[in-house]
Amino acid sequence: MRPMFQIRLERIRRLSASTLDFRFVKTDAAPLRYQPGQFFRFVFTDEEGEFERSYSLCNFDELYGQHLDLVISEVVDGRATRHLFNATEGMTAAVTGPFGRLVVPGTLPDRLVMVATSVGIAPYMPMLRQLEAPLSAGRLEVVLVFGMRDSSEFLYADQLLGLHQQYQDSGFSLLVCYSRESLDGRQAKQYEREGYVNGQFDALNFDPRQDHLLLCGNPAMVEDSWDYLREKGFKPAQVIREKYVFAKSGKPSAGTSDASKAMSDEHKRLVAEKMKKYQS
Ligand SMILES: Cc1cc2nc3c(=O)[nH]c(=O)nc-3n(C[C@H](O)[C@H](O)[C@H](O)COP(=O)(O)OP(=O)(O)OC[C@H]3O[C@@H](n4cnc5c(N)ncnc54)[C@H](O)[C@@H]3O)c2cc1C
Quick check: CB of 87 below 6 Å from ligand 1? no
For the stretch 55-111, pLDDT in tens is 999 999 999 999 999 999 999 999 999 999 999 999 999 999 999 999 999 999 999
Q: Where are the domains of the chain?
A: 4-100, 111-243
Residue to substitute in 244, 258, 268, 274 for testing ligand 1 pocket (most ligand atoms within 8 angstroms of CB): 244
For the stretch 147-189, pLDDT in tens is 999 999 999 999 999 999 999 999 999 999 999 999 998 899 9
Q: Kindly report the protein residue whose alpha carbon is nearest to atom 4 of ligand 1.
A: 55
For the domain made up of 111-243, the CATH class stated in words is alpha beta
What is the side-by-side order of every strand in the sheet holding 192-194?
192-194, 172-178, 141-148, 111-117, 211-217, 239-243
Domain 4-100 has CATH 3.40.50.1820: no
| Cα–Cα distance list, 183 to 16, 44, 115 (Å) | 20, 41, 21
Mean pLDDT taken over the chain: 90
Query: Of all atoms in ligand 1, which is nearest to the CA of residue 247?
Result: 19
For the stretch 233-262, pLDDT in tens is 999 999 999 999 865 544 433 333 444 344
Question: Which pLDDT score, from 0 to 100, does residue 248 have?
Answer: 52
Give the pTM. Answer: 0.90
Common-topology check for domains 4-100 and 111-243? no
Quick check: CB of 77 below 6 Å from ligand 1? yes
3-state secondary structure of 28: coil
